[in-house]
Chains A and B, each alone.
Chain A
């Protein structure tokens, strides 16, 4: 099955810095989702995007649905230590009650004081 290309794979940043990561696909999607996973836990949904060009915020997080429908971006402003974790993007093409998600390979974020 296809996996989305996510970059960067990992990043070290200092507390207070802004973070940017992106996800690209060779296929178009109707929905983009961004999840965060802490070690040994299940992913938690951060932001959902449903329209090309859509820009959505959730606190210090901002995500955008690329206009081509083949990419998405997640920005974290003023990072704090609890932002540490792995961030996954996921794309969805179909509609209905059980449309499959295609996941990115993840961006591992580490924040230093």
Chain B
């Protein structure tokens, strides 16, 4: 049963602590993405990765870090430098079609992070 999993669903941390959010996919997708969603707003891109061992900053990368050591995994670390980390975090992946213009992104169920 293929899909994207994010764990945990809810996460609580104290201010000043780093926290790592998990994202795993078994869809054999090359590209993976992290988005942040705040109440009443759309999705904003944090980081994305086209291939293993490579990743690029999105629109709001400050205070976040990522790694892509395996094709299936793209963990996101929210560091203490992120000024307002409480949000809903969504991971996505897309079908590898280098010869096609199609690039449909599919999302995981999300992790709601609350920093106390």
Residues of A within 8 A of B (CB): 1, 3-4, 6, 30-31, 33, 35, 40-45, 48, 50, 88, 90, 92, 95-101, 103-106
> What 9 pairs across the A-B complex have the smallest Cβ distances?
A1-B59, A42-B107, A98-B31, A103-B42, A98-B50, A103-B43, A95-B101, A105-B42, A97-B31
Determine if B27 is an interface residue (Cβ-Cβ < 8 Å).
no
7 residue pairs A–B, Cβ–Cβ below 8 Å? A6-B42, A44-B107, A90-B105, A97-B97, A98-B33, A98-B103, A106-B42
Closest chain-A Cβ to B52's Cβ sits at a distance in Å of 12
Residues of A within 8 Å of B49, CB to CB, are 98
**Cβ-based interface call for B75 (8 A):** no
Question: Is B94 a contact of A98 with CB atoms below 8 Å?
Answer: yes
Q: Establish whether residues B42 and A3, one from each chain, have CB atoms under 8 Å apart when the complex forms.
A: yes
Segment at the interface with A among B13-21, B79-87, B108-116: B108-116
Closest to A89 in B: B42
Q: How far is the CA of A50 from the CA of B90 in the complex (A)?
A: 24
Chain B minimum-CB-distance residue to A104: B42
Residue of A nearest to B93 (CB): A98
Beta-carbon contact of A42 and B110 below 8 Å: yes
- Complex CA–CA separation, A4 to B112 (angstroms): 24
Instruction: Note all chain B residues with C-beta closer than 8 A to A88.
Output: 42-43
A97's partner among B41, B42, B44, B94 (CB-CB below 8 A) is: B94
| Per-position 1/0 for B87-106, Cβ under 8 A of A | 01010101011100111111
Known: A42-B108, A42-B110. A96 touches B42 (CB 8 A): no
